[in-house]
Structures are given as C-alpha cells and as structure tokens.
Amino acid sequence: MNVSIVEINKLRACTGAGISDCKKALELSSSYDDAIIYLRKKSQQNLEIRSDRSTNNGKIFVNMYENIIIFLTVRCETDFVANSKEFIQFGNELSNEYNKLFCNILTNVEYENKEQELLQNISLRTKENISIALEYHVLDKNTIMGFYLHHTKTEASIFKISLFENIEKTFNIEELIKIANNIAMHIVANKPKYLSISKIPYSEIEIEKEIIKSKLIESDKPEKLHENIINGQLKKFYQNVCLLEQDYILDKSYTVQKYINSFIVSSNIKDVSFCHYKI
C-alpha cells in the first residue's frame, strides 16, 4: 500500500512505534489495522529477545479497592524510561485494570489480554525489557493496615496489625490507620529485615556473634568484659535489623514496639506483619 506521512503519524500516535517501523508496517500491510497487528507481533518478538536484559529501574504503583490494597511493581532497564510520562501512564493504567479485575468488571482472560496489549505498547514506545510483579493484601474486619509510598515511587511498604477484639467497637479506626501509616513510613526510612528478634534465623545470629568475637580477640579489651560487650553489640544488631526493636522515627523516646503498645496493649494484638518493596 502507498504510505503517506499522515498515515505514518497516525500509526505512531496509536502505537508509539518509531517512524521507520511504522513506515515498514504500512508498506507490508494491506490495511491500517493489519499494520497495527504487524507492529504488535513485532513488539512481542522484541519482548522475548529483551527478556534476559536486567531491569534495575522502575516504579511502584499502589491502588486500593474496599478491603484490598494492590501493589504493582513495574521494572525497566533505564532511569530515563522509568521517569518518562509514558511509563508512569502505563503503570497507572495497568494498576487500574487490575483494580477492575477485583471489582469483577473484567474477567481473568480480559485482564490478561489487556495486560498483554499495554505491555506490547510500552515495549514499542520504550524499546526496553519491561517486567511486572503484582501483589495484593486482603484485610479482615479486625485488621488495620497502613502503607507508605515514597515520592520517587521506587520504594513502598505496608504495616498490618490484627487484633482479637472488634476494632470498630473498641478503637478509633482513623487513629489506628494513622499509626499504621506512620510505621509504614518508618519501615521505608529504616529498612528493617525482620519483625522481631524471634524471626531472625539462628544461623544469622551465630554469624554475628562470631564476627563480634573475632573483633574482640584482635582488640586489647579485658576478657572479663567480653560477655557484656557481645551482648551490647548484639543489642545494636537487633535494633538495626528488627522493626519492633528500632527507635521509632517520629519519637526516639519509643521503640516501635513501645509506640504500638502505647495505643494497643499486647494482649489485644493477634498478629503484626510488614512488607517492604524496593526497586
């Protein structure tokens, strides 16, 4: 088919493909719709070719639907693409489509088709390997969850507290959500690996003890002080890696554990958990 600059620009606007790709697609196709199909097939081939490229940049997108919070992590190859309007628009659109799936507006098949279409389009526009990870958390009636998304959209966290008692009858829900949101912010700032000391693998504690002991052997400190020094160094280690042992970021007079217990007594807490997401 004969190709005009108007047709090329129209196809570019629709697919985001380059001028030469659009021109070739139109030349090899019998219609405009066939040209779109040609470019999408080519995009799929390029996705497979690029699939082994590392994706160390990207953004995190957060969406909420009733008692469900959705985390969508979209990775790409370069910071330039990650900060582009097209990439952020793609993430927002995909997050909204996933929300529709939960609302039963879309079936699983419809969502998968839409995801594939959006992925092919962003691949055409960016010419980079794009990877997607979806995760969601469902709350029951006695669970409060807070979340925090860093302004760069490269780091996020959630913090959940489950209680034995009926939340609505016993507590101020808005106040609990604010507490959970603040602790989620603390998690992004302090990056704990574990919730509590009991969650640290025994092997990791033993390795830390051996490191401390080897440093003491090289030092000239009296042996009678070694036990106290080891215990002191382990305490610092626990404060560094355990959320509940850390000084609360908004009030250093509290640990995170004591901050929680200033609002909720331990006997009312059924479970506490957190997740930390980072590009």
Q: Which domain holds residue 16?
A: 5-50
Please indicate, yes or no, if residue 203 is contained in any of the structural domains: no
Q: What residue has token string 């030469």? A: 20
Q: Answer yes or no: do 45 and 56 share one domain.
A: no
Please indicate, yes or no, if residue 236 is contained in any of the structural domains: no
pLDDT of res. 243: 98
pLDDT of res. 49: 62
pLDDT tens digits in sequence order for the chain, 279 residues long: 567 787 877 877 777 677 778 788 778 887 888 887 777 777 666 666 666 788 899 999 998 877 788 899 999 999 999 999 999 999 999 988 888 887 777 788 888 888 888 888 888 788 888 889 988 888 888 888 999 999 999 999 999 998 887 766 667 888 888 999 999 999 999 999 999 999 999 999 999 999 998 888 888 778 778 889 899 999 999 999 999 999 999 999 999 999 999 888 888 888 999 999 999
Q: Answer yes or no: do 92 and 119 share one domain.
A: yes
Q: Answer yes or no: do 56 and 41 share one domain.
A: no
pLDDT of res. 47: 63
Please indicate, yes or no, if residue 278 is contained in any of the structural domains: no
pLDDT of res. 186: 97
SS3 call for 276: strand
pLDDT of res. 38: 77
Q: Answer yes or no: do 61 and 114 share one domain.
A: yes
Residue 129: CATH number of its domain? 3.30.479.20
Q: Answer yes or no: do 27 and 85 share one domain.
A: no
Please indicate, yes or no, if residue 18 is contained in any of the structural domains: yes
Instruction: Please work out, in degrees rounded to the nearest 5, the angle formed at the alpha carbon of residue 66 by the alpha carbons of 63 and 72.
Output: 20
Q: What residue has token string 């980079």? A: 128
Please indicate, yes or no, if residue 122 is contained in any of the structural domains: yes
Please tell me the distance from the alpha carbon of residue 138 to that of residue 155, in angstroms, as a whole number: 20
Q: Answer yes or no: do 56 and 24 share one domain.
A: no
Q: Are strands 143-149 and 131-138 parallel, antiparallel or unpaired?
A: unpaired
pLDDT of res. 78: 94
Q: Where are the beta strands (DSSP E) in the chain?
A: 57-65, 68-76, 131-138, 143-149, 155-163, 269-278
Question: Hey, which residues does 271 pair with through a beta bridge?
Answer: 162
Q: Answer yes or no: do 99 and 132 share one domain.
A: yes
Domains contained in the chain, number = 2
Q: Answer yes or no: do 55 and 128 share one domain.
A: yes
Please indicate, yes or no, if residue 20 is contained in any of the structural domains: yes
Please indicate, yes or no, if residue 261 is contained in any of the structural domains: no
Q: Answer yes or no: do 43 and 71 share one domain.
A: no
Residue 10: CATH number of its domain? 1.10.8.10
Q: Answer yes or no: do 21 and 86 share one domain.
A: no
pLDDT of res. 249: 95
Please tell me the distance from the alpha carbon of residue 63 to that of residue 156, in angstroms, as a whole number: 12
Please indicate, yes or no, if residue 65 is contained in any of the structural domains: yes
Q: Answer yes or no: do 62 and 45 share one domain.
A: no
Q: Answer yes or no: do 59 and 115 share one domain.
A: yes
Of the candidates 107, 138, 169, which is a domain's last residue? 138
Of the candidates 138, 170, 201, which is a domain's last residue? 138
